[in-house]
Amino acid sequence: MTTRQDCLALDAADPLAPLREHFDLPDDLIYLDGNSLGVLPRATPARVQQVVREEWGRDLIQSWNTAGWIDLPQRVGDKIARLIGAGAGEAVAADSTSVNLYKVLMAASHIARQDQPARRVIVSERSNFPTDLYIAESLARELGWTLRLIEPEEVEAALTHDVAVLMLTHVNYRTGRMHDMAAVTRAAHAAGALVVWDLAHSAGAVPVDLRGADADFAVGCGYKYLNGGPGAPAFVWAHPRHADRFWQPLAGWMGHAAPFRFTPDYQPAPGIARYLCGTPAVIAMSALDCGVDTVLAAEPLGGMAALREKSIALTTLFADLVEARCAEHGISVVSPREAALRGSQVCLARAEGAYAIVQALIARRVVGDFRAGDAQTPDILRFGFTPLYTRHVDVWDAVEQLVQVMASGEWREARFHQRAAVT
Amino acid sequence: MTTRQDCLALDAADPLAPLREHFDLPDDLIYLDGNSLGVLPRATPARVQQVVREEWGRDLIQSWNTAGWIDLPQRVGDKIARLIGAGAGEAVAADSTSVNLYKVLMAASHIARQDQPARRVIVSERSNFPTDLYIAESLARELGWTLRLIEPEEVEAALTHDVAVLMLTHVNYRTGRMHDMAAVTRAAHAAGALVVWDLAHSAGAVPVDLRGADADFAVGCGYKYLNGGPGAPAFVWAHPRHADRFWQPLAGWMGHAAPFRFTPDYQPAPGIARYLCGTPAVIAMSALDCGVDTVLAAEPLGGMAALREKSIALTTLFADLVEARCAEHGISVVSPREAALRGSQVCLARAEGAYAIVQALIARRVVGDFRAGDAQTPDILRFGFTPLYTRHVDVWDAVEQLVQVMASGEWREARFHQRAAVT
C-alpha cells in the first residue's frame, strides 16, 4: 500500500507542484473543498486593491476606458474559453450560474420552438444541482413545458421525440460522477434535442471540449475550480451557430450592439456579447480574472490534460486509501471507481454520522463538506481535489485524520452534531 | 450674485460637511459624476481586504456561517430599505438593476394576468434609461404584450384600461427630472395599473418613501449614489402584499425556502428573499455595504431630508451660476428649475460641442459626463451633485472652470473631440 513516504516522493517528482505557489493557503490546512469555494490566489489581494484604490478610487469613471472595465466580461470570457474547448469571442463572464442558465435555457427553448415546435420537454437528472432544476422548473412553468427528471443511467432512453432540451451538469455535485460529454451530446443530437451543459464542477477541474463535443450551450461557475472568490461571476457560452439566432430575455444594456448610444430600442450585440445584461461587476470580475490565471498557469506544464492526470492520481489514491483503511469503520466510496466516470472529487458515505465526521475532520483542519441525502441517496462526505494546490501527501494525511476521527470515536461528541446554517 | 467667498462660508456652516471625511476623494478633483459612479468610501479598501484575505483566504467556506455571508443580501437590503421608505425584511441586494427589473416586471405581469387578464400593456417613458426599456421590450415579446412609450408629461393620459404596469424611473438619467412618486402611483392605482419604480438616480440622492407612496415594486442601483463601487450589486423591493404571490422566474437556490436542503423542487422563500437567485457576490456586496453606510452616516444629521436640502442648495446654485455666467457662451440649463421636479443633478445643453466641453472640463479636473442626444433631444453635459461629499465651493469652482473652457475656446482643440469607447 502507498505510504506517506511514497506520497512525499510523488510530490517531489510532480511537475505541477510549483503551481501551489500561486495560492495563499493556510499552512496547517488540508483543503479538500475547492469544489465548493476555491482558495485565494496569491495575486488576488493586490489586484483587488489596485482596482479599488486606483481604478475606482483615483481614476473613477475614466477607468471604463483606461482600465478596460468595459470589456472585462469578454477578456475573462476569452481566458475561460481556453479551459473549456471554446474559441476566443465565444464566452463571457457575467452574472451568476443560475441567471446564465436561465438565459441559455430560454435561448434553447426559442430555437426549439422555431425549429421543432412539437418538442416541449426539458430533460434533466433528479440529482442535478438544485438551482439548475429550479431554473428549469420555473422556465417550464412560464412556457407551459414539462421538466422531466431522470436518473443518470436513463439519459439515452429519455431522449424521446418530445424532448427539446437536455440539460445536464457534466460532473455531478454530490457523487462526482462525470458524463461523457461527446457521447451524450451525440445521442441527444441524434434524437433531435439541444444540449445545455453546466460546467460548475468541470471548468478548471477536468478537460472540457465544448466545440469538440459539438455542444449547444454551456454555463459554469467562477468560484469553485476557477478560484474567483465567494460569489464570483459565472460564465456563459453559446455555440456560434446559435449565438446570433435569439435575443435572450435578460436583454440589458451591456448586451446591446451599442450600449452607449442609449437608443430606446434593443439591438442585440453580435455573438456571445448579447448574453451580457447589466453593468459588469468590476471588482468581483477582477478577482475572477486572477483565479482563472491560476489555471492558465498550468498551460506551459501541460494544461488541463496534465491537471487531469494529477487529479486522477489524487482521487484514485484517496479512494484506495479510504477503502483500505476506513472500510472497517463503515465508510464506503460512493463516487465511481472508474476514473473516466469521475470528476475531481470523491464522495464517501456512512450509515450514520456523516455530518459529525465532516465536522470532526474540520476540527482537525481537514476541510471537506457534507451533503445531506434523501429517501434514495445516503448522506455524503464530499472531498474535492484541486490538482493546482493539492499534494499527494495531503491526501495521505487527510485519510490518516479520518482514520483517527473514526478510531477515537471523537465524531460522536455532541459539539460535532450541531448544525450550522450553511452546511 | 453668490461669490466664491459666500460658498466657503456656506461650507463652513454646513452641518453635513463632516460626511465628506467618509470618502477618499482625490484632493484636486471636483467630481460631479456620482450619479454615474459614486466615489470610494474611506472604509471600503480595508473592508474588502478583510473579506478577501481573512474571510475568504483564511476562513474559506466556514465564512458562510462565521462571517455571515449567507445573509449579506438581507443585511445590506435592510440598510437600503431605510433610505427608500421600506421596512426591514422588504428589500434585498442582489444581481444587477437590469436582472432585478426583469424579476419584478415578471412578477407584476403575473399579478396583472391573474387579477386583470385583459390588461397587456407596459407603459414607460421614451427617455427612460435604455436598459429598462430593453428589459421591458424583451418581456413584452415573451408575453405577447405591448410596450408603449410616452413622454413624461403624458403619464396620466397614458393610463388607459389596457395598462397592466407603469414602469418609470423616478429621476430621469438624462434630464434629472423627478416624478412625484406618490401622485403618479395614486393615479396609476386609480387607473388599475401596478407601478414599478427604478430608483437608480434616487436611492441615496433624494428622499424616497415607497410605503408612503404605496408603490408596488422597485429596483435600484448600488454604484451611483450608494457608492458601492463599479458594477456593485443592485437592490430589489416588493410591497409585502405582492411578495408572496408569485415566484419570480429567476428561481435560483438562494431564493429557495431552504437552499441547503438541496431538494429537487423549488419552494420559494417567504417574502423578498424569493427575489434572490444565485450565490451572493460576497466581495462586491461587502463593498456595497460600506457604500450604503456612507449614506446612513447622515442619519444623525437629519438623514435624507437634510441631504435633500443640501442637494437642492447645490443644484440651484449650479443652475443659477451657469445661467448667469454661461448664457453668453450658448449654454442653457435643461433640467427643471423648480427644485421639486429635479433630482440631484443638473444637465446643460449647447447647440454644439457638448462632448468636447465635457472633455475639456475633465482635463481641468472637473468631472461630469456627456450624454448624446437624438432627433428630439439635445446632446447634454450632465452633472451630479452628491450632497455627501460635494461642497458649495466645488460648485462655484466647477462653473468657473466651465467659464474658462468657454472663454478660452480651448474646447475647440482636436484632442477634446476624440471619442472614447465609453462616453
Asked if the C-beta of A146 comes within 8 angstroms of chain B's C-beta atoms, the answer is no
Length in residues, chain B: 423
Cα B208 to Cα B205: distance, rounded to the nearest angstrom: 9
Contact B67, B98 (CB under 8 A): no
State how far residue B369 is from chain A, nearest Cα, in angstroms.
9
Cα dihedral A141→B92→A70→A38 (10° resolution): -90
Contact A264 B149 (CB under 8 A): yes
State how far residue A227 is from chain B, nearest Cα, in angstroms.
11
Let me know whether A226 and A116 are in one domain: yes
Amino acid at B135: I
**Number of neighbouring beta carbons within 10 Å of residue B287:** 33
| pLDDT value for B160 | 98
Q: Which of B14, B33, B198, B369 is catalytic?
A: B198
| pLDDT value for B261 | 83
- Kindly state the average pLDDT of the residues A171-186: 96
Let me know whether A92 and A119 are in one domain: yes
In the numeric block, which cell numbers belong to residue B43?
472604509
Q: What does the H/E/C string look like for A221-252?
A: CCCCCCCCCCCCCEEEEECHHHHCCCCCCCCC
Instruction: For residue range A187-204, list pLDDT tens digits in order.
Output: 999 999 999 999 999 999
Amino acid at A242: H
A60 within some domain: no
Torsions phi, psi for B199 (to 5 deg): -100, 25
Instruction: For residue range B155-214, list pLDDT tens digits in order.
Output: 999 999 999 999 999 999 999 999 999 999 999 999 999 999 999 999 999 999 999 999
**Number of neighbouring beta carbons within 10 Å of residue A324:** 12
Interface test with A, best of B27, B103, B235, B266 (most A CBs within 10 A): B266
| pLDDT value for B179 | 97
- Kindly state the average pLDDT of the residues A84-110: 97
Which of B296, B322, B338 is the endpoint of a domain?
B296
A259 CB-near residues (< 8 Å, 6+ apart): A253, B130
Q: Which domain holds residue B182?
A: 68-296
Let me know whether A291 and A312 are in one domain: no
Active site residue B223: yes
B287 within some domain: yes
Contact B57 A40 (CB under 8 A): yes
Residues of chain B found within 8 Å of residue A149, distances taken between Cβ atoms: 264
Cα B212 to Cα B196: distance, rounded to the nearest angstrom: 15
| pLDDT value for A264 | 85
In the numeric block, which cell numbers belong to residue B388?
455627501
Nearest-5° Cα angle at B148, B147 to B151: 140
Let me know whether B131 and B278 are in one domain: yes
A62 within some domain: no
Residue with cell 420552438: A113
pLDDT band at residue A10, thresholds of 50, 70 and 90? very high
B269 CB-near residues (< 8 Å, 6+ apart): B255, B256, B257, B276
Asked if the C-beta of A59 comes within 8 angstroms of chain B's C-beta atoms, the answer is no
Contact A279 B421 (CB under 8 A): no
Reduced to 3 states (helix: H, G, I; strand: E, B; else coil), residue A43 is coil
| pLDDT value for A261 | 83
Residues of chain B found within 8 Å of residue A279, distances taken between Cβ atoms: 96-97, 223, 230-231
Contact A52 B62 (CB under 8 A): no
Q: Give the CATH number, domain containing residue B344.
A: 3.90.1150.10
In the numeric block, which cell numbers belong to residue A228?
474567483
In the numeric block, which cell numbers belong to residue A54?
486606483
- Kindly state the average pLDDT of the residues A286-290: 98
The pLDDT tens digits along chain B (423 residues) read 899 999 999 999 999 999 999 999 988 999 999 999 999 999 999 999 999 999 999 999 999 999 999 999 999 999 999 999 999 999 999 999 999 999 999 999 999 999 999 999 999 999 999 999 999 999 999 999 999 999 999 999 999 999 999 999 999 999 999 999 999 999 999 999 999 999 999 999 999 999 999 999 999 999 999 999 999 999 999 999 999 998 889 999 999 999 888 888 899 999 999 999 999 999 999 999 999 999 999 999 999 999 999 999 999 999 999 999 999 999 999 999 999 999 999 999 999 999 999 999 999 999 999 998 887 789 999 999 999 999 999 999 999 999 999 999 999 999 999 998 887
Contact A191, A184 (CB under 8 A): no
Among chain B residues, the shortest Cα distance to A70 is held by B422
Let me know whether A254 and A312 are in one domain: no
Let me know whether A73 and A168 are in one domain: yes
pLDDT at A418 over 90: yes
Which of B269, B296, B323 is the endpoint of a domain?
B296
Residues of chain B found within 8 Å of residue A70, distances taken between Cβ atoms: 421-422
Instruction: For residue range A341-380, list pLDDT tens digits in order.
Output: 999 999 999 999 999 999 999 999 999 999 988 877 899 9
Among chain A residues, the shortest Cα distance to B233 is held by A281
Nearest to A102 among B250, B259, B285 (CB): B250
pLDDT at A262 over 90: no
Contact B420 A149 (CB under 8 A): no
Q: Which of B31, B102, B217, B223 is catalytic?
A: B223
B58 within some domain: no
B63 within some domain: no
Q: Which of B382, B391, B394, B416 is catalytic?
A: B382
| pLDDT value for A373 | 87
| pLDDT value for A421 | 83
Q: Which of B129, B318, B355, B385 is catalytic?
A: B129
Nearest to A95 among B99, B139, B223 (CB): B99
Cα A405 to Cα A413: distance, rounded to the nearest angstrom: 11
Let me know whether B292 and B353 are in one domain: no
* Beta-ladder partners of A369: A382
Residues of chain B found within 8 Å of residue A29, distances taken between Cβ atoms: 60
Let me know whether B73 and B220 are in one domain: yes
Cα B11 to Cα A162: distance, rounded to the nearest angstrom: 71
Asked if the C-beta of A65 comes within 8 angstroms of chain B's C-beta atoms, the answer is yes
Asked if the C-beta of B362 comes within 8 angstroms of chain A's C-beta atoms, the answer is yes
For chain A, what is the mean pLDDT? 96
The total number of structural domains that make up chain A: 2
Asked if the C-beta of B290 comes within 8 angstroms of chain A's C-beta atoms, the answer is no
| pLDDT value for B374 | 80
Residue with cell 442558465: A101
| pLDDT value for B54 | 98
Contact A264 B95 (CB under 8 A): no
**What's the Cα-to-Cα distance from B105 to each of A268, B117, B231, B250, rounded to whole Å?**
20, 15, 22, 12
Nearest-5° Cα angle at B181, B180 to B185: 120
Q: Which of B224, B308, B342, B371 is catalytic?
A: B224
Asked if the C-beta of A278 comes within 8 angstroms of chain B's C-beta atoms, the answer is yes
In the numeric block, which cell numbers belong to residue A211?
466545440
Contact A210, A197 (CB under 8 A): yes
| pLDDT value for A113 | 94
Nearest-5° Cα angle at A223, B288 to B103: 55
Torsions phi, psi for B382 (to 5 deg): -115, 130
Which of A296, A330, A363 is the endpoint of a domain?
A296
Let me know whether A80 and A222 are in one domain: yes
Cα A178 to Cα A129: distance, rounded to the nearest angstrom: 13
Contact B265, B200 (CB under 8 A): no
Residues of chain A found within 8 Å of residue B96, distances taken between Cβ atoms: 95, 252, 277-279, 281
Of the ranges A248-252, A305-309, A323-327, which one carries the lowest mean pLDDT score? A248-252
Let me know whether B16 and B89 are in one domain: no
A47 within some domain: no
This model of the complex carries an ipTM of 0.97
Q: What does the H/E/C string look like for chain B?
A: CCCHHHHHHHHHCCCCHHHHHHECCCCCCEECCCCCCCCCECCHHHHHHHHHHHHHHHCHHHHHHHCCHHHHHHHHHHHHHCCCCCCCCCEEEECCHHHHHHHHHHHHHHHHHHHCCCCCEEEEECCCCHHHHHHHHHHHHHHCCEEEEECHHHHHHHCCCCEEEEEEECECCCCCEECCHHHHHHHHHHCCCEEEEECCCCCCCCCCCHHHHCCCEEEECCCCCCCCCCCCCEEEEECHHHHCCCCCCCCCHHHECCHHHCCCCCCECCHHHHHCCCCCCHHHHHHHHHHHHHHHCCHHHCHHHHHHHHHHHHHHHHHHHHHHHHHHHCCEECCCCCHHHECCEEEEECCCCHHHHHHHHHHCCEECEEECCCCCCCCEEEEECCCCCCCHHHHHHHHHHHHHHHHHCHHHCHHHHCCCCCC
Angle at which helices B282-296 and A282-296 cross, to 10°: 160
Contact A249 B139 (CB under 8 A): yes
**Number of neighbouring beta carbons within 10 Å of residue B115:** 12
B51 within some domain: no
A157 within some domain: yes
Let me know whether A356 and A216 are in one domain: no
Let me know whether B212 and B323 are in one domain: no
Is B134 annotated to bind ligand?
no
Q: Give the CATH number, domain containing residue B241.
A: 3.40.640.10
Closest CA to A271 of A255, A285, A259: A255
Contact B99 A278 (CB under 8 A): yes
Nearest to A36 among B61, B135, B249 (CB): B61
Active site residue B364: no
Enumerate residues 85 to 144 of chain B having a beta carbon within 8 A of any beta carbon in chain A: 95-99, 102, 126-131, 133-135, 137-139, 141-142
Nearest to B372 among A33, A128, A262 (CB): A262
Burial (CB < 10 A; 0-12, 13-18, 19+), residue A368, is buried
Instruction: For residue range B83-127, list pLDDT tens digits in order.
Output: 999 999 999 999 999 999 999 999 999 999 999 999 999 999 999
